[in-house]
């Protein structure tokens, strides 16, 4: 098992390194002059030369790459061109917003999907099962940004129960939670639809096994068998998907923050594109990609915790 | 033998026919010019001249949706073909050669999963500016690892069959076997995946265009129409309804069609699900 964890950790670090190389390559090496991108076509040659010097663009590419990695490891992502402050400061300010939204979305997804998925499996081929499957088919197909707009139309424009967007911070917790309700639902519905399906099919698989019949025959209630015996045994495929879903939720915040005007990293990335602020975009893309890779790594490690049978094989 | 077509296949085929038919029709006919502005006629209610009314600039909504269908289909088709071709080629190569080449291709595929289309599109937009071409490239890119995996998995299985072993014994080289024997035998799995990826591509294009990273004005795109409608939700909420419905119909259609094709190619799966 120690070897398994070691191998996975090395793989994880290598993947991060290659991801960083890809991000750096796309942002720096592909044809195109970052200085020209930032200053625009009207820039004078002197201004371009000065900016190239300031950005270190005159140094060899490899030197720039390793400098970027070295500094990033120490929390230094350079200075934002548009905000004129360190990128790490911008990230620190906006990270809590994005994390709150992603965690709320994940909790929403888990509660809804596990309940519906196990419920559907318990009512296999009955109305409840078909209902859940139908809803999940629609849920998968609905774009999150459109769902957001529909939620705003209903709950903010028509009923006026919740704010249509914006976030004033946690100083007023009630207002903060109210502003997060619609974004959380919009973010979580698609993932719930996917997870409910996986939970259902995984639970159905387990319910066919002998130990479930034995548990029922020994007099345990249906509910107890479902939640205490079926669910824990159905967890491996569920955890795989949950790991990928957390990654999808985090990148999903990029869209949702822009729909609801929430001041998180997703909104920052778009402001930075509009302002041609390449160091900020580069840092944020790397951060999001790193979260995706880390989520997959954590899932790999969790397998062994959840399914002790895998220990023997690793 | 039960020869009845699966229900999901039938519903999927009908929805896909509707969307593809509309897209094809828009090549030769739309009720009005989708880009023609008639400011004096803005926010017109549905009528016999404008079946779904007009938008804030007096453009015919139905014509815009039809043009949007065409663009959406075109983007999905090019992106899936592009990403699919590269992915299938890599998958076949990995399976044919094996060893470190296979390992290398699969690790590259893992890496591809670290970049959702949105992140890739963001990078391209930051460097080259937002455009439909960049959106297509980003969607194609995320398709490469998906197809590489499916192809390699299916091909590895076919390589163990007797007739493939026989062609190897007869002296055919690995690439010729891949082309003549492996590819035709895994085509069904690839087509099923392509149908499902088509649905994913439609969603991705809509999201990218909505965020301003895809189709640029005046090109019609369901995602772009939605982003314009968002600012008008208090005045004309109906403008935000139609394009979303179009996306859902297209995505559900291709999703069901893919599921149905998979059920038909492997009936065991349909009983499992």
Per-residue model confidence as pLDDT tens digits over B90-125: 999 999 998 889 888 888 887 777 777 788 888 888
Nearest C-alpha neighbor of B229 from the set B6, B3, B54: B54
Interface contact flag, A138 B234, Cβ < 8 Å: no
In a domain, B17, yes or no: no
- Whether B107 is covered by a domain: the verdict is yes
pLDDT above 70 (res A116):
yes
CA distance B108 to A204: 34
From B119, B126, B130, residue closest to A289, measured CB to CB: B119
In the predicted structure, residue A314 carries a pLDDT above the cut 70 = no
For testing contact with chain B, the best of A145, A259, A281 (most B CBs within 10 A)? A145
Which chain A residue is nearest to residue B234, measuring alpha carbons?
A157
pLDDT digits (tens, 9 = 90+) for A218-265: 888 888 888 888 888 888 778 878 887 888 898 899 999 999 999 999
Percent of chain A predicted with pLDDT > 90: 37
The residues facing A79 across adjacent strands are A86
Which domain does B119 fall in, by range? 62-267
Task: Note down the domain range covering A292.
Answer: 96-313
- Please count the structural domains in chain B: 1
Q: Is B271 on the interface with A (CB under 8 A)?
A: no
pLDDT digits (tens, 9 = 90+) for A132-144: 988 888 888 899 9
Among A40, A132, A149, A191, the residue to mutate for chain B (most B Cβ within 10 A): A149
The pLDDT of residue A146: 94
Gap between the Cα atoms of B239 and B231, Å rounded: 10
**B111/A146 touch (CB, cutoff 8 Å), yes or no:** no
Ramachandran area for residue A157 (φ above 0: left; ψ -120 to 50: alpha; else beta): alpha
Chain A interface, best mutation among B72, B114, B201, by max A CB count within 10 A: B114
Q: For residues A147 and B122, what is the distance between their CA atoms, to the nearest angstrom? A: 22
Does the pLDDT of residue B251 top 80, yes or no? yes
B251·A140 Cβ contact <8 A: yes
pLDDT of residue B1: 47
| A310: confidence class by pLDDT, cuts 50, 70, 90 | low
User: Are the CB atoms for A238 and A127 separated by under 8 Å?
Assistant: no
Domain assignment present for A200: yes
Who's near A282: CB < 8 A, 6+ residues apart?
A: A23, A24, A27, A68, A77, B126
Across the interface, whether the CB atoms of B207 and A26 are under 8 A apart is answered: no
CA A220 centroid distance within chain = 39
Q: How many domains does chain A have?
A: 1
> With 60 as the cut, is the pLDDT of residue A215 above it?
yes
Q: Is residue A1 part of a domain?
A: no
Report if residue B106 sits inside a domain. yes
Assembly ipTM: 0.86
Any idea what the CATH number is for the domain that residue B259 is in? 1.10.3720.10
- In a domain? residue A294: yes
Residue with tokens 């959406």: B72
Checking if the pLDDT of A312 tops 60, the result is no
Q: Is residue B212 part of a domain?
A: yes
CA angle, residues A241, A246, A252, in degrees to nearest 5? 120
Q: Name the β-bridge partners of B60.
A: B54
Q: Which residues pair with B54 in a beta bridge?
A: B60
Could you tell me which residues are beta bridge partners of residue A91?
A: none
Confidence category of residue B273, pLDDT binned at 50, 70, 90: very low
| SS3 labels along B85-154 | HHHHHHHHHHHHHCHHHHHHHHHHHHHHHCCCHHHHHHHHHHHHCCCHHHHHHHHHHHHHHHHHHHHHHH
Q: What is the mean pLDDT of residues B47-69?
A: 87
Is A155 inside a domain boundary?
A: yes
Q: What's residue B79's pLDDT? A: 96
Name the H helices within B180-266: 183-210, 222-230, 238-265
CA distance B205 to A113: 27
CB atoms < 10 A from the CB of A68, how many? 23
Maximum mean pLDDT: which of A26-35, A169-178, A257-266, B107-116? A257-266
- Write the DSSP symbol of residue B4: P
Q: Is the Cα dihedral A90, A91, A96, A99 positive or negative?
A: positive
Q: Place B199 in a pLDDT band, splitting at 50, 70 and 90.
A: very high
Averaged pLDDT for residues A67-85:
89
Token code pair at residue B137: 């490239």
Domain of A281, CATH number, reads 1.10.3720.10
**What is the total residue count of chain A?**
314
pLDDT value at residue B271: 46
- Does residue A33 lie in a domain region? no
Contact A268, A90 (CB under 8 A): yes
B252 touches chain A (CB under 8 A): yes
Can you tell me the mean pLDDT for A83-92? 92
- Is A18 part of a structural domain of the chain? no
**If pLDDT is split at 50, 70 and 90, which confidence band does A122 have?**
confident
Residue B21, Cβ density class (10 Å: 0-12 exposed, 13-18 middle, ≥19 buried): exposed
User: At residue A40, does pLDDT exceed 80?
Assistant: no
What percentage of chain B reaches a pLDDT higher than 70? 96
């Amino acid at each position: 098992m120690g070897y398994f964890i070691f191998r996975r950790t090395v793989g994880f670090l290598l993947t991060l390194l290659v991801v960083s190389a890809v991000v750096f390559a796309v942002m720096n090496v592909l044809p195109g002059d970052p200085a020209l991108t930032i200053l625009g076509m009207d820039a004078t040659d002197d201004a371009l030369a000065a900016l190239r010097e300031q950005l270190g663009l005159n140094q060899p590419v490899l030197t720039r790459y390793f400098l970027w990695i070295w500094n990033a490891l120490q929390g230094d992502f350079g200075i934002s061109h548009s905000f004129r402050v360190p990128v790490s400061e911008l990230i620190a300010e906006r990270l809590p917003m994005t994390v709150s939204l992603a965690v709320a979305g994940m909790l929403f997804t888990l509660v809804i999907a596990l309940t519906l998925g196990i419920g559907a499996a318990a009512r296999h081929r009955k109305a409840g099962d078909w209902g859940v499957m139908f809803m999940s088919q629609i849920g998968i197909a609905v774009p999150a940004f459109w769902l957001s707009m529909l939620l705003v139309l209903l709950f903010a424009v028509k009923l006026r129960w919740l704010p249509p967007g914006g976030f004033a911070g946690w100083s007023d917790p009630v207002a903060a939670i109210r502003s997060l309700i619609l974004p959380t639902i919009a973010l979580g519905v698609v993932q719930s639809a996917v997870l409910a399906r996986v939970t259902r099919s995984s639970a159905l698989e387990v319910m066919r096994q002998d130990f479930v019949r034995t548990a029922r025959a020994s007099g345990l209630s249906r509910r107890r068998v479902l939640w205490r015996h079926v669910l824990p045994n159905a967890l491996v495929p569920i955890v795989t998907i949950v790991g990928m879903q957390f990654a999808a939720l985090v990148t999903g915040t990029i869209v949702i923050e822009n729909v609801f005007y929430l001041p998180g990293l997703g909104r920052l990335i778009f402001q930075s594109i509009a302002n041609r602020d390449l160091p900020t975009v580069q840092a944020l893309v790397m951060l999001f990609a790193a979260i995706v890779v880390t989520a997959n790594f954590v899932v790999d490690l969790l397998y062994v915790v959840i399914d002790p049978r895998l220990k023997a094989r690793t | 033998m039960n020869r009845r077509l699966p229900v999901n296949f039938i519903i999927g085929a009908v929805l896909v026919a509707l969307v593809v038919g509309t897209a094809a029709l828009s090549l030769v006919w739309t009720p009005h010019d989708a880009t023609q502005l008639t400011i004096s006629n803005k926010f017109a209610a549905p009528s016999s001249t404008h079946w779904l009314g007009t938008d804030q600039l007096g453009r015919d909504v139905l014509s815009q949706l039809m043009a949007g269908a065409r663009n959406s289909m075109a983007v999905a088709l090019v992106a899936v073909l592009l990403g699919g071709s590269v992915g299938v080629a890599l998958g076949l190569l990995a399976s044919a050669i094996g060893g470190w080449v296979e390992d290398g291709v699969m690790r590259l595929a893992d890496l591809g999963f670290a970049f959702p289309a949105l992140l890739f599109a963001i990078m391209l937009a930051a460097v080259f500016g937002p455009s439909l071409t960049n959106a297509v490239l980003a969607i194609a890119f995320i398709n490469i690892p998906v197809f590489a995996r499916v192809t390699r998995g299916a091909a590895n299985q076919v390589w163990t069959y007797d007739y493939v072993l026989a062609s190897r014994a007869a002296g055919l080289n690995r690439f010729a076997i891949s082309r003549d024997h492996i590819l035709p035998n895994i085509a069904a799995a690839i087509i099923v995946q392509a149908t499902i990826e088509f649905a994913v591509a439609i969603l991705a294009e809509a999201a990218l265009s909505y965020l301003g990273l895809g189709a640029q004005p005046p090109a019609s795109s369901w995602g772009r129409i939605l982003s314009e409608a968002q600012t008008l939700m208090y005045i004309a909420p109906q403008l935000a309804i139609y394009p979303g419905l179009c996306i859902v119909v297209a995505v559900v259609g291709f999703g069901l069609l893919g599921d149905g094709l998979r059920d038909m190619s492997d009936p065991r799966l349909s009983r499992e699900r």
